[in-house]
Amino acid sequence: MSHFLTLLKINIKLLLRNKGFLFFLVVTPIVSVIILGLKTETAIINKEYNEEINELKDASSKAIYCGNSQAFAFIVKVYDSSMTELSGYILEKLANTGMFFVCRADTNKMTDEEILKQAEKDAFNDRAGTILYLKKDFEKGIAEGNIQKSLITYEVSGDKRFEIFTEALNVYLEQLHMLYSTGMDTKEVLEVIRTIQKRQPAKEIINISKKNDIVLDEEQSSAKDKIGYAFAIITLGFVFCGVCVAYTVIEEQENKVYTRIMLSGINMFEYLVVKFVMAIIISGLQTGVLGICMYARGELDFGIDKIVFLGIIFLLGLVFSVLSLCTGVLVGDIMSANYTVFTIWSISSLLAGLYFPLDNTSSTLKAVSFLMPQKWFIKASEILLSGDKSAYTMLLCVTAAYLIIIASIGGVGLKIQHQDN
């Protein structure tokens, strides 16, 4: 036991002398607390589309900067040379679907050539999904049934939602043409449209979820996003701190210190336990620094009790500290270990959905995401935000499962290495 404690003390001293370890120990918790303290409006993107026409200053104005343009919205940039009530009606119908973000510029004084040149520029410089040009004789074209001659649609991206847009646009245009075909003039058509709009019931948005879905309100969704970003930053600290422990193993093997340790009476199992305890210490230290930063920050409310959140961070840190420790030992070279763990961190954070929601991704990507540790921890945070306490058992089981898997792979890898040597 005395040999075990002596080895543990030596490892702690070596770790505390490592400047890289001290950097990640302090910096990543501070950055994580800054992210958790961000206000809602700056931390996340508003998830609801703006269901109205957003007016642009002129045709050269970028639609991406118009109003509350969304990160994943299908933006429709409109050059409206007609600027009539009828054109406004069509664009409002498109915006009210909730599928399209409509931005309109008044191009009444521009020629067809000027608009074509502007469309070519916007196809490269703006992030519109499509560009719609409504000509000056837009109303006349619909009335006479020459719909295709009264407008031009530019497909400027490979987004499949363009097909949905063109179908919706054609439906609304055909409805107007049918009114004209009954013998009505533009004044009468507009009167019918106004009557329909007055009688149309107000839209009510209802969340429909499956039995096991967790429904979060806007504030909880904001908190979940911030927690995801904080997880990404704090795990970066854990993986590199874990590599610092792996560095001690690599140095001990290269300098023949490992052989002397074995001769001192410590067996292989005790040696590995010391390194595992070091991973626990790393997780505890970094979680402690995070806790100090959180309480120093003062008022910090992100939907989860601070003690519970620190417990989640400790378990997440334990998984990634052990993962990077085993990776570093198996790779056997400190530079290669750094590259490897950084790659693991980057890909796992991306696939776990820490940077963007996976709701609209493929079923394959969603299935792969559940292989990532962060996915389970962000899922647990989501459950806790909804007020369900069942996440505690899940977190303990998930942590234990990952530690067993990682330790097993690491143990087999070390055994193979020693046999080869």
Give CA–CA dist 87/255, Å, rounded: 79
pLDDT at 106: 93
The pLDDT tens digits along the chain (421 residues) read: 667 787 788 878 888 888 888 888 889 989 988 888 876 443 333 334 446 788 888 888 887 666 554 545 788 899 999 998 888 888 888 888 878 888 999 999 999 899 989 988 888 877 788 899 999 988 888 888 887 788 988 888 778 888 888 898 888 888 888 888 888 888 888 888 778 767 666 555 555 455 455 656 667 777 888 888 888 899 998 988 888 888 887 777 777 776 777 777 777 778 778 888 888 998 999 999 999 998 888 777 777 888 999 999 999 999 999 988 888 878 877 788 888 888 999 998 888 888 877 766 778 888 898 999 999 999 888 888 887 777 888 999 999 999 999 888 877 776 776 666 5
CATH topology of domain 54-199: Rossmann fold (3.40.50)
Pairing state of beta strands 54-55 and 151-155? unpaired
Tell the burial category of 163 from Cβ atoms under 10 Å away from its Cβ (0-12, 13-18, 19+). Answer: exposed
Give CA–CA dist 19/23, Å, rounded: 6
- Residue 60's φ and ψ, nearest 5 degrees, are -80, -15
pLDDT at 287: 93
Helix 334-351 vs helix 373-385: angle between axes, to the nearest 10 degrees?
Answer: 40
pLDDT at 47: 38
As a three-state string, the secondary structure of the chain is: CHHHHHHHHHHHHHHHCCHHHHHHHHHHHHHHHHHHCCCHHHHCCCCCCCCCCEECCCCCCCHHHCCCCCCCCEEEEEEECCCCHHHHHHHHHHHHCCCEEEEEEECCCCCHHHHHHHHHHHHHHCCCCEEEEECCCHHHHHHHCCHHHCEEEEECCCCCHHHHHHHHHHHHHHHHHHHHHCCCCHHHHHHHHHHHHHHCCCCCCCCCCCCCCCCCCHHHHHHHHHHHHHHHHHHHHHHHHHHHHHHHHHHHHHCCHHHHHHHCCCCHHHHHHHHHHHHHHHHHHHHHHHHHHHHHHCCCCCCCCHHHHHHHHHHHHHHHHHHHHHHHHHHCCHHHHHHHHHHHHHHHHHHCCCCCCCCCCCHHHHHHHCCCHHHHHHHHHHHHHCCCCCHHHHHHHHHHHHHHHHHHHHHHHHHHHHHHC
Residue 361 neighbours by CB under 8 Å, 6+ apart: none
Largest CA distance in the chain: 103
The whole-model pTM stands at 0.60
Strand partners of residue 130: 76, 155
Q: Would you mind telling me the total number of residues written for the chain in this entry?
A: 421
Q: Where are the domains of the chain?
A: 2-42+217-420, 54-199
CA 232 to chain centre: 10
pLDDT at 114: 92
Q: Is 37 left (phi over 0), alpha (psi -120 to 50) or beta?
A: alpha
pLDDT at 202: 57
pLDDT at 35: 85
pLDDT at 419: 65
pLDDT at 363: 83
Q: Measuring CA to CA, how many Å separate 229 from each of 44, 222, 304, 349? A: 10, 11, 15, 9
pLDDT (tens digit, 9 = 90+) per residue, 64-115?
Answer: 666 554 545 788 899 999 998 888 888 888 888 878 888 999 999 999 899 9
pLDDT at 404: 92
pLDDT at 94: 87
Give CA–CA dist 416/282, Å, rounded: 27
pLDDT at 20: 84
Output b/e per residue, 132-152; b: 16+ Cβ within 10 A. Answer: bbbbbebbebbbeeebeebbb
pLDDT at 418: 63
The whole-chain average pLDDT of the chain stands at 81
Residue reference for tokens 């009688």: 199
Q: Which of 229, 235, 227 is nearest to 345 (CA)?
A: 235
pLDDT at 14: 80
Q: Encoding tokens for residue 205?
A: 């948005």
